[in-house]
Amino acid sequence: MAYWLMKSEPDGYSIDDLERDGVEPWDGIRNYQVRNMIRDDMAVGDMALFYHSACKTPAAVGIMTIVSEAYPDPTQFDASSKYFDAGSDPDNPRWLLRDVKFERKLAREITLKELKAHPELQDFQLNKRGNRLSILPVSEKEWSLILGLEKAPAS
DNA sequence: GCCAACGTTGGC
DNA sequence: GCCAACGTTGGC
């Protein structure tokens, strides 16, 4: 089983929205590297951190599971969607997505600041300069380190 | 294939 | 709002 971190802007779709919806198609991926990851490297049963990005307090806020295979993102064919891609061929869709399922919120937000300060997370991709991918792989060790922080008091 | 211009992400 | 770091586009 693999672990992931998936970013979402809470103003657009937050952990509370996922808690309400239960299962949700993770649409809007428009980066080939990320598409390849969800197509080739992700698997049903993988676990992912829900991460709030581009907001006041960027932080990991919850846990979800991957519950579907990769399938075409319908928003790429929806002319009224901001994710519409006129260049995508319906017979060979360019953009894929997977469904994710809400598992639980973290007991507390684990902020980017805290992750960056962690001595054992210096190689974590989220902490790397110039990282702009909306989905990142998380190693098993990183996963347990991050979840270990959940039970520690906020620093 | 090179590279400048432009667009996007996302922390700050 | 600013800006660094990319990715993409398109002329050549």
Domain boundaries, chain A: 3-149
Length A34 CA → B2 C1' (Å): 26
Question: Domain A3-149 is of which CATH architecture?
Answer: Roll (3.10)
Task: Express each pLDDT in A94-125 by its tens digit.
Answer: 999 999 999 999 999 999 999 999 999 999 99
Please give the model's pTM, rounded to 2 decimal places: 0.93
How far is residue A136's CA from residue A146's CA, in Å, rounded to a whole number?
A: 14
Chain A 107-146 residues whose Cβ is under 7 Å from strand B: 112-113, 116, 131-134
The predicted-structure confidence for A129-147, as pLDDT tens digits, reads as follows: 888 899 999 999 999 999 9
Q: Max CA-CA distance within chain A?
A: 51
Nearest residue (CA) to C1' of C8: A31
Give the model confidence (pLDDT) of A70-101 as tens digits: 999 999 999 888 899 988 888 899 999 999 99
